[in-house]
Amino acid sequence: MASPGIVRLMSDLWKDSLDGIHPTVDIETGEVTYPEAEARLDERDGLAFEVLETLTDQDRLHREFQEKQYICPQCEAKGMQYTSACPSCTSPETVRTERYRHAECGHEGIQEQFLDDEDGAVCPGCEMDLESLERLELDTIHFCENCDAISETVDHRLRCRECHLVIHPMRATERILYQYYLTDDGADWIGEQLTARESLVEMLENRTLRTETDTTVTDESGEQVPVHVYATDDLLDEDIVAAVHEQPDESDVRNLLSIAQDADAHAILVTTSGNIVGKDVDRFITDDRLTVLQLANGGTLQREYEIIADPTKRNSFVGRIANIFRSQTV
Ligand SMILES: [Zn+2]
Ligand SMILES: [Zn+2]
Ligand SMILES: [Zn+2]
């Protein structure tokens, strides 16, 4: 469920070393990235945006609107720009300018044409002395450099920076960019995950194991795989790979077992909710290379857990309490 990368990200948000996660838009390409999230997540966590949205769905983060981005329907470039366009020829080459009009005679022109040599104003149409420009009507017009058309209004368009397509905004794909912040639920959740991890490390160190938190182990293919905790028993020459999850599911159990097997280590799985999710998860849990522990009140770890079929249906679990006669605080 929660990878070491996600725990890293959430824990920095929780410890206030990170006040939120903000999108960055590349001015050249329009590409959106989340550098604060990417710096903390691992490559195997997938796209930062998808991780952030998942955490938002889980109410661990909440999001705030930052801006809306438009995507080109022709070349899929991001960040189309607003442009006004000539209503006659559709060119974006329009210039906004002011037009003066003498109401009495109807003469129209730009500011310079109404000014005389002595800082006064004269109408070039009827030659009336106007004293100042304030007696003239003023409006804004748009002059098209492409077709010379003068228009009172312009069309509102979006222009692609890549392929230069100019289109009506309705034809572009919209995308909203959000900033992400920790929620109270998220703070409780990460607090609990870190408590469980610290309890686990403490327990291992009390047994004189050397521990490393948020580290990596090398898997069978030589790749570095992030793990929550890695511990070495120098005396007995034995290693332990441990993971902490709120509600570990079958894939969490399988991943942990596979990493442990590659590292030739024993696996410890800590469930902070006391549950493990999955109908067929039994067959993995009974593996004797795996120990399942639950985070109990007061931060202690116990050998007790429940298997539930579906975490969204709390009342219909088919679970059992395993190892109940061996239940103990370790
Ligand atoms: Zn006039
Ligand atoms: Zn034009
Ligand atoms: Zn385009």
Assigned domain for 164 exists: no
pLDDT confidence band for 328 (50 / 70 / 90): very low
Is residue 233 pLDDT above 60, yes or no?
Answer: yes
pLDDT confidence band for 110 (50 / 70 / 90): confident
d(CA 319, CA 308): 5
Which domain range does residue 120 map to?
81-159
User: Are 313 and 242 in a shared domain?
Assistant: yes
Instruction: Tell me what pLDDT residue 1 has.
Output: 60
What are the C-alpha distances in Å from 284 to residues 267, 292, 298? 12, 11, 29
Residue 29 CA: which ligand is closest?
A: 3
Residues with CB under 5 A from ligand 3 (ion): 72, 74-75, 77, 160, 162-163, 165
Instruction: Tell me what pLDDT residue 44 has.
Output: 92
Say how many Å lie between the CA of residue 70 and the centre of ligand 3: 11
| Residue among 303, 222, 233, 299 nearest 269 (CA) | 303
Say how many Å lie between the CA of residue 138 and the centre of ligand 1: 14
Residues 282, 307 contacting (CB under 8 angstroms):
yes
User: Are 176 and 65 in a shared domain?
Assistant: yes
Say how many Å lie between the CA of residue 211 and the centre of ligand 2: 72
Q: What is the pLDDT of residues 305-321, one digit of tens each?
A: 889 887 665 433 333 33
Instruction: Tell me what pLDDT residue 312 has.
Output: 66
Residues 190, 245 contacting (CB under 8 angstroms):
no
Give SS3 for 7. Answer: helix
Is residue 17 pLDDT above 60, yes or no?
Answer: yes
User: Are 65 and 97 in a shared domain?
Assistant: no
Map tokens 């999001």 to a residue: 63
- Which token pair is 176? 């909203």
User: Are 177 and 223 in a shared domain?
Assistant: no
Assigned domain for 43 exists: yes
N-to-C CA span, the chain: 24
Rg (CA), the chain: 33
Give SS3 for 21. Answer: strand
User: Are 53 and 99 in a shared domain?
Assistant: no
Looking at every residue in the chain, the average pLDDT score rounds to: 89
User: Are 205 and 286 in a shared domain?
Assistant: yes
| Residue among 246, 262, 330 nearest 254 (CA) | 262
d(CA 289, CA 276): 17
pLDDT confidence band for 326 (50 / 70 / 90): very low
Given its phi and psi angles, is residue 323 left (phi above 0), alpha (psi -120 to 50 degrees) or beta? left
Say how many Å lie between the CA of residue 153 and the centre of ligand 2: 12
Task: For residue 212, give every residue at least 6 positions away whose Cβ sits within 8 Å of its Cβ, in sequence order, or none.
Answer: 229, 230, 231
Say how many Å lie between the CA of residue 119 and the centre of ligand 1: 18
Q: What is the pLDDT of residues 149-172, one digit of tens each?
A: 999 999 999 999 999 999 999 999
Name 182's bridge partners.
Answer: 61
Q: Give the mean model confidence (pLDDT) for residues 67-72.
A: 90
| Residue among 224, 253, 220 nearest 43 (CA) | 224
Say how many Å lie between the CA of residue 24 and the centre of ligand 3: 20
pLDDT confidence band for 63 (50 / 70 / 90): very high
User: Are 31 and 178 in a shared domain?
Assistant: yes
Q: Which regions of the chain does DSSP assign to beta strands (E)?
A: 24-25, 32-33, 61-71, 81-85, 94-101, 108-109, 137-144, 150-151, 155-159, 166-167, 173-182, 210-218, 224-233, 238-245, 266-271, 275-277, 290-295, 301-302, 306-308
User: Are 138 and 89 in a shared domain?
Assistant: yes
Say how many Å lie between the CA of residue 97 and the centre of ligand 2: 15
Residues with CB under 5 A from ligand 2 (ion): 86, 88-89, 91, 144, 146-147, 149
Assigned domain for 28 exists: yes
Is residue 118 pLDDT above 60, yes or no?
Answer: yes
What's the gap between Cα 252 and its chain centre? 23
Say how many Å lie between the CA of residue 169 and the centre of ligand 2: 19
Strands 266-271, 238-245: pairing kind: parallel
Residue type, 136: L
User: Are 132 and 9 in a shared domain?
Assistant: no
Say how many Å lie between the CA of residue 76 and the centre of ligand 2: 27
Q: What is the pLDDT of residues 171-185, one digit of tens each?
A: 999 988 999 999 999
User: Are 44 and 153 in a shared domain?
Assistant: no
Cα dihedral: 217, 218, 220, 226 (round 10):
50
| CATH number of 261's domain | 3.40.1350.10
Helical ranges in the chain per DSSP H: 4-14, 35-38, 48-57, 111-114, 184-206, 250-262, 282-285
Instruction: Tell me what pLDDT residue 320 has.
Output: 33
Assigned domain for 247 exists: yes
Say how many Å lie between the CA of residue 178 and the centre of ligand 3: 23
Say how many Å lie between the CA of residue 159 and the centre of ligand 2: 16
pLDDT confidence band for 29 (50 / 70 / 90): confident
Say what the pTM is. Answer: 0.74
Instruction: Tell me what pLDDT residue 31 has.
Output: 80
Residue type, 64: E
d(CA 82, CA 147): 21
- Which token pair is 160? 């692609």
Number of domains in the chain: 3
Is residue 329 pLDDT above 50, yes or no?
Answer: no
Say how many Å lie between the CA of residue 159 and the centre of ligand 3: 8
Read off the DSSP letter of residue 59. Answer: T
User: Are 305 and 198 in a shared domain?
Assistant: yes
Residue 104 CA: which ligand is closest?
A: 1
Q: Give the mean model confidence (pLDDT) for residues 216-236.
A: 93
Say how many Å lie between the CA of residue 93 and the centre of ligand 3: 18
Q: Give the mean model confidence (pLDDT) for residues 68-78.
A: 91
User: Are 151 and 231 in a shared domain?
Assistant: no
